[in-house]
Amino acid sequence: MHPIRKAAVTATALLASAAITLTTGCESGSTTEGSVAASASPSGSSRPGCPTALAEAKQAVKTAEDVNAPWSGPTSGPRAVPDKTIVYIAQTLTNPGVAGVAKGVQEAAGIIDWRVRTLNGQGTPAGIKAAFAEALALEPDGIVIGGFDPTSIAAQVEQANADGIPLIGWHAVAAPGPSENPKLFSNITTRVEEVAKISADWTIARSNGRAGVVLFTDASIPFAKRKSDLIKKELATCSGVKLLSYENIPIPQAGSLTTKRISSLASRFGDRWTHSAAINDLYFDHAGPALRAAGRQGDGAPFNIGAGDGDPSAFQRINSKEFQAATVPEPLSEQGWQIIDEFNRSFAGKSASGYVAPVHVTTAATSGGALAWDSEGYREAYRRIWEK
């Protein structure tokens, strides 16, 4: 655990379980309002709309908020293979998750004495294709597909495969671990099903089973679209939770579009809008000015949760209670280290580790003032494996 988090957790541990008692009151729609129950208003009934689902959600959230989760990843593997070069292709470095993993890759490569070059795809198909072409021209030992769909550059992926260059994805395909089509040595991600479920469960628990929810996604990214669909599915397990609107905003355009959309949503739904979920914390980076202009308070409704990626700016908003209440953080630095470890296993002729980081929820009551989430002890574990 981060030292600053450990120091603060003792004083806030009791608050974590007490923080899910608010009473407020989503039929699915695509930027249009479904039928909203009268109890969706903060002045509606305080009785939970789904007792069984609510109890299950509260238990799941309690488990996911555990700040003392130890390192549960690999403790054995091949020693460091020397003198390798890796290229990290970022979908866009404006995506804090993609950028955070890139930093972790750089840090771990420095420990293992490898070279890393990061290329920015600029969030466009043309930019990603150009970056991948540049990566192939560099003839690296391995390439990271950082946050984009490898089927969008299928010919180049096939070229890398033909050239014997191992590919490792981060949020590149839906499932963690090795992939045959497209061919990836491994894909590093938490399980999207678990992230989506705990995001929806947090909303159910935080609202005591009565909420009006807006869901933000980027439907152009299959991984993100699936995550938001799974969030919708889990929200639907609670009859007192109504989906007010499903907002499709491409991540590269989040800065220019989110503020306008939020202003419109606040005007349309008023107090019925009590909670939000987004496939990425980035959307809430642009929410504050519009919500403030609509008369909302940073520590009040809508209570917002990001279903990834837990970047430092999200932690800052959560810690200061500025229009974000929770995040389901990817352990970004830890996953960067895992990428280097998986490449090392590939170079040594070994199989992928199969490790998948467990899901976690961070709130102001559990962050301890920290600006990131990682399992305790991963750096030491990987260094022992690599003999570095």
Cis peptide before 201 (omega within 30 of 0): no
What ranges in the chain are assigned the alpha helix state H?
3-18, 51-64, 96-112, 125-137, 154-162, 192-206, 222-235, 254-269, 282-285, 288-293, 312-320, 332-347, 364-367, 378-386
**pLDDT score of 29 more than 90:** no
Q: What pTM value is reported for the model?
A: 0.77
Decide which of 140 and 18 is more confident. 140
Angle at 381 between CA 380 and CA 387, to 5 degrees: 85
Q: What is the pLDDT of residue 168?
A: 98
Residue 314: pLDDT band by 50, 70, 90 thresholds?
A: very high
Which two tokens mark 318? 């959560």
Cα separation, 337 vs 335, whole angstroms: 5
Q: What is the pLDDT of residue 383?
A: 98
Q: What is the pLDDT of residue 252?
A: 85
| DSSP tag of 70 | B
Residue 265: pLDDT band by 50, 70, 90 thresholds?
A: very high
**Polymer length of the chain:** 388
Residue 46: pLDDT band by 50, 70, 90 thresholds?
A: low
| DSSP tag of 251 | G
| Pick from 250, 215, 238: nearest CA to 95 | 250
Beta carbons within 8 Å of 53's beta carbon, 6+ residues apart: 204, 209, 237, 238
Residue 16: pLDDT band by 50, 70, 90 thresholds?
A: very low
| Pick from 201, 249, 228, 129: nearest CA to 361 | 201
**pLDDT score of 8 more than 50:** no
Task: Say how many C-beta atoms besides its own lie within 10 A of residue 297's C-beta.
Answer: 11
Decide which of 36 and 207 is more confident. 207
Residue pLDDT, tens place only, 358-368: 999 999 999 99
Q: What is the pLDDT of residue 49?
A: 75
**pLDDT score of 244 more than 90:** yes
Residues 266 and 212 sit within 8 Å (Cβ to Cβ):
no
Cα separation, 46 vs 51, whole angstroms: 12
